[in-house]
Structure 1
Amino acid sequence: MKTSVSVPVLQQDETESDSTFETNLGWRRNTGMSNTSLSSGMASTLSVSDSISSINPPDIEVHGSVQFAVNYIQKLGEFHIFVVHCMNLAVADTKKNRSDPYVKCYLLPDITNLGKRKTTVKKKTFNPTYNEILRFKIKMEVLKTQNLNMSVWHNDMFGRNIFLGQMDLDLSDWDFSNTQINEYTLKRTSTMKTGEVQIWVKDCKNLLSVTGMVIDPFVKCTVLPDMSRKRHQKTRVVKRTANPMFNHTMVYDGFRPEDLREACVEITVWDHDRLNNHYIGGLRLGLGTGKSYGVEVVWMDSTADEANLWKQMLVSDGEWVEDVLPLRMLVMAKSMSK
């Protein structure tokens, strides 16, 4: 993940309102699940909740293979992975008898989201052809200390991505003169123990209008320190109400248990406007230590109640944890650096 240089772009003073935000969060490993549900309680409130059955995909019988080649380009200082093709993938959506697969690569033991690359999604196929190059900027001496983890996922339109298999490649003894296409069988287990942070935004209650007009609220979410645009998710806009119902699930994958101690889920509520959206309030779920991966950051500022909920989730394997939390004004992360 990225550490951040954060600057205040909203109000610096943290003031509580009567709005509340209710949300359920889930932490799902490849082998198990811990979940968090939270509700916030300002004059405005946001509800987010979820159930294991609605979040967890059914167990998939992993089979099939992936074809790829690797190469190191000395002039560029880049490690290239040429993802070619997958064959005989499992059916992810049994009702529609389809899979929409994409390939994801990590370099381990990288502790940041800079170590992840993805292909495009191929629709309605069990034998996708990609012919895409995934690039990592990394020195050769560092690369030789890494493991390449390659996994295949079904992309669901509602964000509930389904695991289809993975493989690992030890780069410490890899012959980098070998640029031929290799084929590896996909497996269920891996040396990389990752999972998902799952957030179900349920509803808001008694939201306050910033402009004095009827509001059109929506919710935005990101998991810091990664501020890349592709990691931002949001609900739909609900028109003309201070008590919107969303029932929207947000899923962030690729987290190891130790990453969750350095990460922070930032959830904010906004009033939609064609020219300029208006901030209503937000909250941050994390340990509130003031640091992420050893770097001091403004956004690791969870209140005692927010941090307590996060801690409950970290120790609750396979169970939902819930709370009601107040929305507040946040110092927002504006720019990020490595």
Structure 2
Amino acid sequence: GVRSRRGEQISMQEHFAINVCPGPILPIPQISDFFPRFHDYPCTPPPPREKKILKEETFNGEMGGGFKDGERRGDNSGDREEVADSDDDDSEVIVFDARPFYPPEKKTCAHTYLGMLEFTLLFDQENNCLHCTIHKAKGLKAMDSNGLADPYVKLHLLPGASKANKLRTKTLKNTLNPVWNETLVYHGITAADMTTKTLRLCVCDMDRLGRNEFIGEVRVALKKLREGDNKRYNMGLERIAQSMDPTEISFRGRILVSLCYNTEKGCLLVGIIRCAHLAAMDSNGYSDPFVKIILQPDMGKKSKYKTSVKKKTLNPEFNEEFSYEVTLDLLAKKTLEISVWDYDLGMSNDFIGGVELGINASGQRLRHWFECLKNKGKKVEYWHTLTQQGAPSSDKTD
């Protein structure tokens, strides 16, 4: 045998283990089943295992021993956004390994520098538009194997339909300091929206394999933006946990409608101007929308009209006008049903949302109707929110 520095007798088996294992010295039973266990009491032999006699396992070309799947240093079963995690700062994990041991890394998502985004916002209340100019980003996190990224910026109004109100810039290749200078415009944004909505700007990396990866985001509460102010922002990107807001599911979009009662011709002129932020009904993330209008109680075929179909868009422009021959007295007792549909060839069309204007309406819908009756000969335009309260009962999906 060999004597240790303390003068204790060391068996050849233990001496052999010390020579081949430069890591922490552990009791023999913790190292391997290869070595016999010495007890002063009888014990049941351990159940048979696969033979791993001092043999290091190979993980993706690297040598390492004793790690389970997902526990090896640097191993990450998730995407590249996550790193190894440890729940206890004071815990020390001792593992038999031929390499020096390093404690698990902590998550650094909240403190990792992801880059800066520079952009300008302008609210045009007269035209109900929000102009978002994306200038540039600096020092973005590298996402590709070449140490670069293919970044683009995606805009999303919260709350809102998950796909309907998203805009995005073009993609710039192989850069961590992209310059877009691109203006994206949201139509149908009212002063009331500016007090309740938040603009989310996400910077993403376009993957050549079709998997787009999230880099970071910033959020701006629009209530802080004053009408007519061209406000420039330079904000650091963050990782913010996404949550599903119930209002995002129920919101179906908006429609801009004009009403005018022509006293000379004795008719109501209904203008379907445009829609904004419609809910996506097709698998490609878009819809093929068209609008139907009915003046109730039903006046026969003369009471039903529909616009042309606009392909693959969530923000269609129609600019179509329809006429109803009706006296002002009768018109005051009627209801105008407006519904937006997604056209499907050879199938029944999908209902996106609708709105009713008339004496039984409330809020802005009632105000629009009264202003039309009061201001004869004047065209009155209003944006209206589409609801999911079902398609008009008297309507068909043709």
Bucket of the pairwise TM-score, normalised by the shorter protein: 0.3 to 0.5
Higher percent of residues as strand: 1
Higher relative contact order (Cα pairs below 8 Å, separated by 6+ residues): 1
What is the TM-score when the length of structure 1 is the normalising length? 0.42
Larger radius of gyration: 2
What is the TM-score when the length of structure 2 is the normalising length? 0.36
